[in-house]
Amino acid sequence: MATPRALVLRTAGTNCDQETKHAFELAGAVTELAHINWLGASDTPLANVQILALPGGFTYGDDIAAGKILAVELMHSMRRHLQDFIFGGGVIIGICNGFQVLVKTGLLPDARILPAADRRLTLTHNDSGKFEARWVRLRTPHHTVSIFAEPDESLELPVAHGEGKLVARDAGIIKELIEQGQVVYRYASPSGGVPTYPDDPNGSVDNIAGICDKSGRVLGLMPHPERYVTGYQHPRWTRERLENREGDGLRLFRRAVEYFKKG
């Protein structure tokens, strides 16, 4: 097919839109930025787009709760467009604040916009009670349906969030996500054991750092892949001679682009 097109959504408080745009361009997508006001006013805002990105930041100051106001805005102005986009084969990635938005609409893990009473997950305050900004190790499980990841993959990315703890209404929900391959990333310990703070920076249930919907095309994760697309962005790039190496985060953007090129 023609070169895939990606659209990066921004609004008041978004601060990772340019980095996300750059990452998709490095991965080979034609990429544009769009403000939520433009999308909401358009009759066909996603008609010529294959990939939608909800980047990180502090949309609307994270008033009420992180990502909540943008989630409500999308539910009211973009409900039909988002549902049509997903059911039509579109790919969505929500990073940090974008992950919070996807969870607070119900698009994760269910790929449907749901009323609050029917949502099964949320992201809440870190166990540390403070904003966590650090590099973490991630590992994908043996079984995942996500188009963004491969089984038993390890990568290193930075996190920067105050409300990144994934919690579920009950333990059965997490069991279901695991069985269906919807758990995409877990925080990992350098020693190989069960990660504790600060390796798991927020206390998420089952150390979960990212999940997807059943199709594998809608992904949300707390770490920031757009902040590590080239070796120069790693804090140890000089000691580890990473100047000619791609950053681990670029894999996610490239796989989203290749998904459509293969199709």
Active site residues: 96, 224, 226
State the burial class of residue 44 (Cβ atoms within 10 Å of its Cβ: 0-12, 13-18, 19+): exposed
Q: Which of 256, 249, 53 is nearest to 135 (CA)?
A: 249
Is 211:227 a contact under the CB 8 Å cutoff?
no
User: Which DSSP symbol is given to 3?
Assistant: P
The two beta strands, 5-10 and 154-161, are unpaired
CA distance 13 to 182: 29
The tokens describing 80, both together, are 């039909």
Is 137:154 a contact under the CB 8 Å cutoff?
yes
CA distance 128 to 94: 23
Q: Which of 145, 160, 213, 159 is nearest to 187 (CA)?
A: 159
Is 179:152 a contact under the CB 8 Å cutoff?
no
Alpha carbon of 97 to those of 40, 69, 123, 141: distances in Å?
A: 19, 11, 10, 23
